[in-house]
Amino acid sequence: MRVGDATPGWLNAVIRSIRQAHGANMGRHGRTLLRGALQIAVLDDVLGANPVAQVRRIESDRKPKGAPALDAVQLRKLRASEACRAADLVDPITVFIATGLRRSELLALRWEDFDEKVGTITVSGKIARISGEGPKRLDSGKTDSAQRTVPLPEFAITALVWRRGRAVWGEQRMIVPSSVGTCRDPDNFNKQWRKVRDDLGVPDVTSHSFRKSVATMIDDAGLSARVGADQLGHAKVSMTQDRYMRRGCAVPVHA
């Protein structure tokens, strides 16, 4: 078939037939490949628009597992919560929302990792509990791809600049330290979150929920799973696509 004959209706039928024969994951992979191939035709002025952009997305037959993603209203409510502010959870949640970092990565962030001028934050380590030593920062990530530089939206840059200017937090080496200035214990962080999440009406939400929310934003923006994998620090694109990019929850990145 000629590229110009590949109409949205025909492509939709092809992708649906792939799903029927091989499952939802293969259908999504097929849609991604066709979109990338036909985008080349758009860039070469063979097509005026990418017909795959008009093809319906593939919904998973299975109910998403694990922590749920959040919608925009829930995210704004969390950031405005006095309970979160009292437990020093507002700024960590803001960075979670903006980046989709793992909990261990967020707690390992240092002020030297934040570049206000460029608007990025560099993930270069993690917090781990070492037997006999307690929480300790390690200069390594969960995977080789975990070490990365992540762009920040404006609301996250504003929040970090404000935090760095505060009398106590800005004087610490870690961006999100414990109350005594040491590495913040991931277990204690979880306990603090569990205390406030019931009152906020999100009893099932964990730090992983923010990762899923960011993946959903990327998917809803029409970006590739490769972009999502780079943002979340996944070694395999399939991990991002199969476990994180869940449909049905649109979450725009706004303050």
Q: What is the pLDDT of residues 68-99, one digit of tens each?
A: 666 677 777 877 888 888 889 989 888 887 78
Taking only the tens place, the pLDDT of each residue in 187-233 is 888 888 888 887 777 777 777 677 666 656 545 545 444 444 444 44
pLDDT of residue 231: 47
Q: Which overall architecture, per CATH, does domain 72-211 show?
A: Orthogonal Bundle (1.10)
CA distances from residue 89 to 44, 131, 200 in whole angstroms, order as listed: 49, 26, 13
Q: What is the pLDDT of residue 61?
A: 59
Q: In the chain, which residue ranges form alpha helices assigned H by DSSP?
A: 8-22, 24-43, 72-79, 82-86, 90-99, 103-107, 154-164, 186-197, 207-220, 225-232, 237-239
Asked whether 244 and 211 are in contact (CB, 8 A), the reply is yes
Q: Give the separation between CA 78 and CA 89, rounded to whole angstroms.
A: 9
- Distance, in Å, from the CA atom of 8 to the CA atom of 56, rounded to the nearest integer, reads 9
Task: Please name the residue that has the structure tokens 């460029």.
Answer: 118
- Can you give the residue ranges of every domain in the chain? 1-62, 72-211
Report the pLDDT value the prediction gives residue 247, as an integer from 0 to 100: 40
